[in-house]
Structure formats: structure tokens, C-alpha cells
Amino acid sequence: MSADLKVVSYFFDDEGGRELAAILSRVEGLSLTSTKVVSEEQLSTLGKEELPDVVFFELDGHAERHIQDLELLLKEHRGSVSVYVTYKEVALDLVRRMMRIGVMDIFPQPLQTQELMSAMAHAVSAKRERIKASQGAKGGVTAFIDAKGGVGSTTLAVNVAHVLAQKHKAEVLLIDFDLQFGDVAISLDLHPRSTVLDALRQPDRVDTVLLSALITKHDSGLDILPSPGNLTSLDELMADPVRKILQAAVQDYEFVILDLPRFFNAGVIEALKFSDPVMLVCQNSLETIRNAKVILDNLSLIGVSLSAVELINNRAMAKSSSVTIDKLKSTLGKERIHRVRNDYAAAVSAQDQGLPVASVDKKSDMAKDVLALAEYILHAHRGDNKKKQGFFARLFK
């Protein structure tokens, strides 16, 4: 990640762009990569090219289509792109609508140099902070959260973490943030003495040393920070301690896997913001899809980038129900959905014995699908998850 903030601007005429460029050239740490004249076609490619950090957009009160494009951009990429709007003349309700959809700030024209420079300087220092936080970290965070209770997110988090640790010999920490009903430890037949609550309650002491004192080890090599699994108040799950735990965890572990409760408080939101990918676990039922849609429609409003969210269709049936995988894709607007087949025998046997599914029946449908999911996460993190090449490209490579 370069420290320079990449800015793209859209104005109705060259003059506006030149004026902005003159002001931005005085802010250190910015690079104005392109100034475009607004046209329908350019706007629709917003977000499809490499994303800039900042988009500057000149608004025209009548261009509903442009406003919708901006809304779409913010819905998909809020958290990674900051949008600023400038205008010569627009109605007040449009200004309000811009604030509502998540535009960072609005600048009437003529542009005020001082005001604009301080907004940009602030954006540059926020990016530097983000870079600093990720430096020295070897790990990435993957979250599992269920669209509806009991769809299998804990099972998948545990089994994926197990495959990464055992088969791939990766350093993996599985954190159970489901404070009240977390059952990660039980599902692996572990009897922990410390829990994640011990870290949440003393955020100022959280570092890699404290985490290593709190973890429980599984025979496979997997490390676990279990939940207390009692009626601890979810208020204990606050943003600051969660951030400190994750920042410490990624220093020591290549993979930090989270089992999250489906409860969107400050701590869970912080964990989601840290995670890429966020695995939203669904089943083929109308109720699950409805919940998943509510979650997907609202995540960007709480600052979680939708581009990090991926869907898993767990307990997928061979003879599909009325809700097919294609229906899931179209309703939830995702091109790809990971699939883990329904495998009652393997799931129950693993659960009864307190073992990961790969240790119970390596050849079962469930073990095979979990293996594929773990490998996807492994490659995505290590950066070799290249787009599948076409047949001819592979042939002549």
C-alpha cells in the first residue's frame, strides 16, 4: 500500500479540474491521478477500474443517473474510497441526500483552498495510520458469521481453521467472539482455563505475550482463544479491545479466524472491518436469504466494505429446494457462492466425538468441501488466487 493518496476527480469542464489540481498540489502525500470531464460512460466505470482512495465529484442537481452511480459506488466500496462532492448550485435536499449516502464532505464553489486542504490532509493522515497498523503484521483476518442461527458458521470456522493448521502447517488462531453461546472449545473437546474475555477486559495489557498466555492448544497445531460460553453481557465486546486483540493476533499468526455472533454491536462491527474475507454463511431457505439480504444491504452503512463479503451456501442439497444456488446468487447480487454440501453423517459423527470432520472421515462430502474452502482462503491470503485462466492461455503458457 503506497502512502500517497490516489485522487480521481470528475468535473463538468476542464476549468474545475484545474482549480482542484492547483489546490491539491499543495497537499503533501496526494497524487491526483486523473481529472475527467463527467460523462455518463465514465461514471458507470467508477469502481470497476483500480479503485482510487478519493473521488472528487462535481454534482449537477439534475443528474439523477450520476447520483445513483455515486450511491452504488459508496454502497460497494465505502471504507476503501472516500467521496467528496462539489457543486455550483444545488437544492438543499440533494445536499442532505449526499450526506445520507455517506459522502465525506461537500464543498460549494468557488472552492475554499484552506477548507479543502485541511480535509485532504486529514484523509492522508488517516491512510498513514491504516498503513502503520498493518505494518509488521503477517496475518490476515477471516470472519465467519451466520445469516441465521444454526446454519453452520461455527462448524465451518472450526473446520477451516483446522485444515489450515493441520494440513497446511500454517500458524492459525481461531477466536470465538460468540461470548454467550460460543461452542468452539466444546466442538474440539477442549477444556480451556482462559477465554477471550480475559483479553477483552484488559485492553491496555493486550499484546502478543498476553494472547499467548490465554490460548488453548489443539493437537492439530491450531491455537484457540475460546469464548466464556455463559451469559456474559455482549457489552463486553467493545471496539477498542477487539481492535487491540486483532492487531496483536495478526503479528503472530498468518491466519486469524473469527467466529462472530450475529449481533451488530461496536465490537462485532470492528471485527468485521478488520476482516477480509467476511464469510456470510447461508442455507437454501427463504428465511436465511431474507436475513442475508438485510445484512448485505446494511453492512456498508456501518462502514464494512461489501467487496470483502463472500457467501457460503452451507448444507447445500443435491436435490435442490425451491431456493437454488442460482437464486441465491441473483437475490443476493453475488457472482460466486462457496458451497459446502449437506452431510449429516459426517457432521454428527464429528460433533459427537469432538473432532474436526477431516479427522472423522477425510473422504466425506463435507470434509472435501471444507478442504476446498480452506484452500481458497489460503490462496486468497497468500495472493496467488489469480483469476482462472482461459483454456488457450493455459495451453500456451
Q: Where do contacts with ligand ATP occur on this chain (CB under 6 A)? A: 146, 149-155, 178, 181, 314-315, 340, 342-344, 347, 351, 366
CB of 286 to Mg ion, least distance (A): 21
Residue whose CB is less far from ligand ATP, 154 or 305: 154
Residue of closest CB approach to Mg ion:
154
Residue whose CB is less far from Mg ion, 148 or 243: 148
Rounded Cα gap, residues 340 and 67, in angstroms: 39
Rounded Cα gap, residues 362 and 365, in angstroms: 9
Counting residues that bind Mg ion (by CB under 5 A) gives: 1
Rounded Cα gap, residues 364 and 358, in angstroms: 8
Residue whose CB is less far from ligand ATP, 137 or 237: 237
Q: Contact with Mg ion (CB under 5 A): which of 9, 154, 166, 305?
A: 154
CB of 259 to Mg ion, least distance (A): 6
CB of 119 to Mg ion, least distance (A): 42
Residue whose CB is less far from ligand ATP, 86 or 142: 142
Q: At 310, is the secondary structure helix, strand, or coil?
A: strand
291: nearest Cα among 263, 272, 320, 316: 263
Stretch that binds Mg ion, among 56-64, 147-155, 169-177, 245-253 (CB under 5 A): 147-155
With CB cut-offs between 5 and 8 Å by kind, which of ligand ATP, Mg ion, none does residue 147 bind?
none
Give the chain's largest Cα–Cα span. Answer: 71
Specify the residue for cell string 478442504: 371
With CB cut-offs between 5 and 8 Å by kind, which of ligand ATP, Mg ion, none does residue 342 bind?
ligand ATP
Residue whose CB is less far from Mg ion, 23 or 374: 374
Integer angstrom CA distances of residue 205 from 38, 209, 210, 244:
51, 9, 7, 9
CB of 26 to ligand ATP, least distance (A): 52
Residue whose CB is less far from ligand ATP, 81 or 260: 260
CB of 236 to ligand ATP, least distance (A): 18
Residues 62-100, buried b or exposed e (16+ Cβ, 10 A)?
ebeebbebbbebbbbbbbebbbbbbbeebeeebbeebee
Q: Which amino acid is at 264?
A: F
Helix (H) or strand (E) holding 246: helix 239-252
Q: Which residues bind Mg ion (CB under 5 A)?
A: 154
